[in-house]
């Protein structure tokens, strides 16, 4: 099965990713992964870091002549911020030496991992927490997970996402969103993300896009930040991925873990989700019909029932909190002096939600790929295709 590990710090020399379990013979092109990395760096409300980091993966193991070898795939992403011309990061993040002359950071930011991380690991300098908990890590996570996305695409499974709400502006109901998205979903989820990418905030609705951008401008002037809600859709999934047999193998739970492991996420729902709690059962559950095969009239379940895919599009929603680094400070306490002080400012986005959509699109891919491999597995892409085609016939 596929698993991945990441290593590296926000301002260290580079980010490292290792992906294990990809079948042999899978075509991998750095350009295809780089496309999703470039998408991750776009979106209105982004901060200064995105202006100069130009992420492109460099394969260093596991790929030969453009195809996987069945062995672990290793890749790296250099951090341009580590340049000797950029704020002294080689000294601040030096792997060796005593750290003499490097000023410690002792002011934790509310809403960030700063204080909890320093308390957990016993740091008197918050810099190690900032470096690893930073959303910069999501760059290499996108690179690792995009390999699973490429694998799924071999079987017609597509992933796409869009923004539903930023701050006070967004769609009002599930049904309103479905009217906006259905025509794209019918063509496959990639058409959804390509249309959403035409908006600076990755929203399909032009009027909402305008209002979201205007609110970001307002909060930028106030020195604050914004979060919001997004939706990820997966098309082409066959019936029967996942299981109800054990709690820790249910697909809803595994997908929720992938979403919630992404920085700044505070909630996740599948299908109608939280809205189903305010509706009667007749307006929640999907009636079953038979036309050549079993189908459902609607898809309020979001493509999952009992931890198993239904063959309908998978629909997942997540909520991202506002970025905790803000130009207008909040009160905090200095770790050393224990005195109340204002928070320090690290270069940051005003609203990272449009970029987070791309991250979540990719981090769910290994979960789905593993469910697919559990049902149709093999050691090579050719073998898996044989198993899948036998099942389909």
**pLDDT tens, 121-132?**
999 999 999 999
Q: Could you tell me if residue 62 is left (phi over 0), alpha (psi between -120 and 50 degrees) or otherwise beta?
A: left
Report the half-sphere exposure of 126 (CA within 13 A, side-chain side).
22
pTM surpassing 0.85? yes
Please compute the mean of the pLDDT values over residues 166-187 and round it to a whole number: 95
**Predicted pLDDT at 172:** 94
Q: What residues pair up with 230 in beta bridges, in sequence order?
A: 163, 318
- Residue 90 — pLDDT band, cuts 50, 70, 90? confident
Closest to 302 (Cα-Cα) out of 279, 258, 270, 269? 270
Please compute the mean of the pLDDT values over residues 301-321 and round it to a whole number: 97
Res 63 pLDDT > 90: yes
Domains identified in the chain, total number: 1
Summary mean pLDDT of the chain: 94
Please compute the mean of the pLDDT values over residues 322-349 and round it to a whole number: 90
Res 238 pLDDT > 90: yes
**Predicted pLDDT at 351:** 95
**Predicted pLDDT at 349:** 87
Q: How far apart are CA 267 and CA 253, in angstroms?
A: 13
**Predicted pLDDT at 34:** 95
Here the tokens at position 119 are 């308390």
User: Which CATH number is 177's domain given?
Assistant: 3.60.150.10
pLDDT above 90 as % of the chain: 88
Cα torsion 153, 257, 37, 57 to 10°: value is: -90
Res 24 pLDDT > 90: yes
- Is 16 exposed, middle or buried, given 0-12, 13-18 or 19+ CB atoms closer than 10 A? middle
Please compute the mean of the pLDDT values over residues 104-133 and round it to a whole number: 96
Domain residue limits at 278:
3-392
Res 51 pLDDT > 60: no
Q: What are phi and psi of 207, to 5 degrees?
A: -65, -45
- Residue 53 — pLDDT band, cuts 50, 70, 90? low
Task: Encode pLDDT of 350-362 as tens digits.
Answer: 999 999 999 999 9
**Predicted pLDDT at 348:** 75
**Predicted pLDDT at 346:** 72
**Predicted pLDDT at 197:** 97
Please provide the DSSP assignment of 264-315 as one string.
TEEEEEETTGGGGGGS-GGGTSPPEEEESEEEES--TTTTEETTEE-SSPEE
**Predicted pLDDT at 130:** 94
Residue 45 vs residue 76, higher pLDDT: 76
Q: Which stretch of DSSP H or E encloses residue 64? A: strand 63-64
Q: How far apart are CA 195 and CA 186, in angstroms?
A: 13
């Amino acid at each position: 099965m596929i698993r991945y590990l990441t290593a590296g710090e926000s301002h260290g020399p580079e980010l490292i990713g290792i992906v294990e379990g990809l079948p042999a013979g899978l075509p991998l092109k750095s350009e295809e992964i780089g496309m999703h990395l470039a998408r991750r760096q776009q979106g209105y409300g982004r901060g200064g870091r995105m202006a100069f980091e130009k992420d492109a993966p460099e394969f260093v193991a596991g790929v030969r002549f453009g195809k996987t070898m069945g062995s672990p795939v290793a890749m790296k992403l250099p951090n341009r911020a580590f340049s000797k011309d950029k704020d002294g990061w080689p000294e601040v993040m030096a792997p060796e030496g005593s750290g003499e002359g490097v000023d410690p950071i002792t002011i934790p930011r509310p809403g960030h991992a700063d204080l909890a991380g320093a308390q957990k690991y016993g740091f008197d300098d918050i810099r190690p927490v900032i470096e690893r908990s930073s959303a910069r890590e999501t760059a290499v996570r996108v690179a690792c997970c995009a390999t699973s996305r490429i694998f799924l695409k071999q079987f017609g499974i597509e992933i796409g996402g869009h923004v539903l709400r930023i701050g006070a502006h967004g769609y009002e109901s599930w049904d309103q969103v479905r009217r906006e998205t259905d025509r794209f979903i019918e063509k496959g989820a990639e058409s959804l993300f390509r249309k959403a990418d035409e908006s600076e905030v990755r929203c399909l609705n032009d009027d909402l896009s305008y209002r979201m951008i205007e609110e970001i401008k307002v909060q930028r002037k106030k020195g604050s930040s914004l979060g919001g809600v997004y939706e990820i859709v997966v098309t082409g999934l066959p019936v029967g991925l996942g299981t109800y047999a054990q709690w820790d193998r249910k697909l809803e739970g595994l997908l929720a873990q992938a979403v919630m492991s992404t920085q700044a996420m505070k909630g996740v729902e599948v299908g109608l989700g939280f809205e189903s709690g305010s509706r009667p059962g007749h307006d929640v559950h999907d009636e079953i019909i038979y036309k050549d095969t079993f189908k459902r009239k609607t898809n309020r379940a979001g493509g999952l029932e009992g931890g198993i895919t239904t063959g309908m599009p998978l629909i997942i929603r997540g909520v991202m909190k506002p970025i905790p680094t803000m130009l207008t400070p909040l009160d905090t306490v200095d770790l050393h002096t224990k005195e109340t002080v204002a928070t320090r400012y690290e270069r940051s986005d005003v609203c990272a939600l449009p970029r987070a959509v791309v991250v979540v699109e990719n981090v769910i891919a290994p979960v789905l790929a593993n469910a697919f491999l559990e049902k149709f597995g093999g050691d090579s892409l050719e073998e898996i295709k044989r198993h899948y085609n036998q099942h389909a016939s």
